[in-house]
Amino acid sequence: MHGLVNRLGLAGMAVASVLLSAQAATGQTTLRIGLAEDPDVLDPTLARTYVGRIVFASLCDKLFDIDENINIVPQLALSHETSEDGRTVVIKLRPGVKFHDGEVMNAEAVKASLERHMTMQGSFRKPELAAVDKVEAVDPLTVRLQLKAPFSPLIAQLTDRAGMVVSPKAAAEAGDKFGLKPVCAGPFRFVERVQQDRIVLEKFPGYWNAANIHVDRVVLRPIIESTVRLANLKSGSLEMIERALATDLPEIRADAKLKVATVPELGYQGITLNIGKSDAGKTAFGKDLRIIQAFSLSLDRDAITKVAFNGEFLPGNQWVSPRNPYYQSKFPIPKRDVAKAKELLKAAGVTSPLTIDFMVPNNPETRQVAEIVQAMAGEAGFDIKIRVTEFATSLKEAEEGRYQAYVLAWSGRVDPDGNAYVFHRTKAPQNYGGYSNPDVDRWLDEARTKSALAERKAVYERIAETLLAEGSIVYLYHRLMIIGHTAKLEGYRQMPDGLIRLTGVKLKP
């Protein structure tokens, strides 16, 4: 018996060593990443989720990208030049770039991709490229965009899905099924997808920057439960997870086998106030400006992030975080002032507690924030009635103005225009508060025509001053995008959009 056990043990060791040497011989490195949600369709034209952008970061290169300081840097493009009247943009392309199917990436391909974004049925890129009138392929490596009007956020739009160039041949063949087997020009090519289980990508040997790609295979797995995502990382079933919870940070930091990368989000978390969307708005915040100001003053943003997020998130009061170049430091985060809030309410003629219908999408984090807001505003004279609502339902309720206050987040865009325009311009698609001010409309349009940072920032200063006094959004804080990964991962750099880029990343055995 003893002999048999020994022999079995030896045989097991032999098998294990063969397997290990086979692995060493192939030297394949696989990076397994845990996603917080299941991505939608993998077609840059039809995609619309944040989590989908994480997959695209490995799959589809864009004309431009951003760096750590939100500067725009070239990717598939080499440079761009805007004419003096702001109506023509000439983009020079990187030579020698190939798509995953071997087709050449050139001006014709860029033209085909941009036109697909602009005209395809159901395209979510259409509004992003609405300023573009015509795309011309000047020569194989030069593209000229004719604009309907000057539009300075255009290049920033091209750092995201609108700037992704897909293989024209594959796109023409697959039509609206392109997302089932996307063919782009990114560092990894598509292998397979099992819905809700995994997306598998493999290194593309023909990638223009292949020398800096050191991972052979990427497996992206949606694991919605944050606790389980973390358990997978700790047990070694994953090498990387995105959007870990702020409350999990101490545990990740305490684990010597793990590392963490964080960055404040480009977006914001705030409360949209109904000031003119419907009668429900006119009876509360829309009645008197001072009520909006009183509400904002009753909140201690610092305390909110400390209580709900261990103080890891950044308190905020504008549509960009205090670390963004477009943050207006002239208008710092207001200190909580209950006495002043009470005074303002009194001056606005509110004598008894003002009842507010507060719609809160159903997830633990927003619910907790809502309860803190309820307690704080309660001390100033607001009677906040929390109405927890399933997310898709809450969107419809907001669209129809059936609320007085609504917790609503925005994942953020590279250009400040993306965080402000559609929320504050009269009748813009996301202006749920029903805000309207002709001056603000004019300034928002003006900011789109300026390209120098200082000039644009000056326009945004006017907008900020007005909106902070009377706007329909009370900005609260900016989340930290938290990426946890194994300490074996080297060279990972976190960009401000929170996406995972694998260029330069190495996985030690």
Partner 1 sequence: MLLFLGKRLLQLIPTLFIVSVIIFGLQQLLPGDPALAMAGEERDPEVLEQIRRQYRLDQALHIQYLYWVGGVLTGNLGESMRLKEPVLTLIAQKFPVTLQLALMAIVISLTIGVTAGVISAVRRDTAIDYAVNVIALWGISTPNFWLGIMLIFLFSVHLGWLPASGYVGPFEDFWLSLQTTILPAFVLGNAFAAVLMRHTRSAMLQAMSSDYVRTARAKGLAERVVVIKHAMRNALTPIVTLGALELGTLLSGAVLTEQVFSIPGFGKLIVDSVFNRDYAVVQGVTLITATTYILLNLLADIAYVLINPRLRS
Shortest Å, Cβ 134 to partner 1:
19
Shortest Å, Cβ 359 to partner 1:
12
Interface residues for partner 1 in 33-92 (CB under 8 A)?
A: 38, 40-41, 43, 46, 48-50
What is the DSSP annotation of 428-442?
-TT-TT----HHHHH
Name the residue with tokens 């909006």.
Answer: 292
Shortest Å, Cβ 408 to partner 1:
10
Stretch that binds partner 1, among 89-97, 195-203, 244-252, 439-447 (CB under 8 A): 195-203
C-beta of 46 vs 263, nearer to partner 1: 46
Shortest Å, Cβ 227 to partner 1:
6
C-beta of 17 vs 363, nearer to partner 1: 363
Stretch that binds partner 1, among 87-95, 134-142, 193-201, 479-487 (CB under 8 A): 193-201
318 close to 475: Cβ distance less than 8 angstroms: yes
Which of left, alpha, beta for 102 (phi over 0: left; psi -120 to 50: alpha)? Answer: left
What burial letters (b/e) apply to 42-64, b meaning 16+ CB within 10 Å?
bbbbbbeebbbbbbbbbbbbbbb
C-beta of 41 vs 308, nearer to partner 1: 41
Interface residues for partner 1 in 98-127 (CB under 8 A)?
A: 121-124, 126-127
Q: Does 255 bind partner 1 (CB under 8 A)?
A: no
Q: Does 316 bind partner 1 (CB under 8 A)?
A: no
Half-sphere exposure of 487 (CA within 13 A, CB side): 8
Shortest Å, Cβ 422 to partner 1:
8
Q: Does 439 bind partner 1 (CB under 8 A)?
A: no
Stretch that binds partner 1, among 23-31, 110-118, 171-179, 270-278 (CB under 8 A): 171-179
* Interacting residues of 162 by C-beta distance below 8 A, sequence separation 6+: 44, 114, 117, 125, 128, 129
Shortest Å, Cβ 345 to partner 1:
33
140 close to 107: Cβ distance less than 8 angstroms: yes
What is the DSSP annotation of 295-364?
HHHT--HHHHHHHHHTT-SEE-SSSS-TTSTT--TTSPPPPP-HHHHHHHHHHTT--SPEEEEEEEESSH
Considering only 3, 5, 235, 438, the residue that binds partner 1 (CB under 8 A) is 235
Distances, alpha carbon 372 to alpha carbons 271, 273, 296, 298, in Å: 13, 17, 13, 11
284 close to 356: Cβ distance less than 8 angstroms: yes
Considering only 311, 391, 458, 469, the residue that binds partner 1 (CB under 8 A) is 391
Shortest Å, Cβ 400 to partner 1:
10
Candidates 76, 81, 74, 73; CA nearest to 95 is 76
C-beta of 195 vs 352, nearer to partner 1: 195
Stretch that binds partner 1, among 220-228, 434-442, 472-480, 482-490 (CB under 8 A): 220-228
- Identify the helix (H) or strand (E) that includes residue 74: strand 72-74
Shortest Å, Cβ 246 to partner 1:
19
Residues contributing to the site for partner 1 (CB under 8 A)? 38, 40-41, 43, 46, 48-50, 121-124, 126-127, 176-177, 179-180, 194-198, 221-225, 227-228, 231-232, 234-237, 390-393, 395-397, 399, 410-411, 429-430
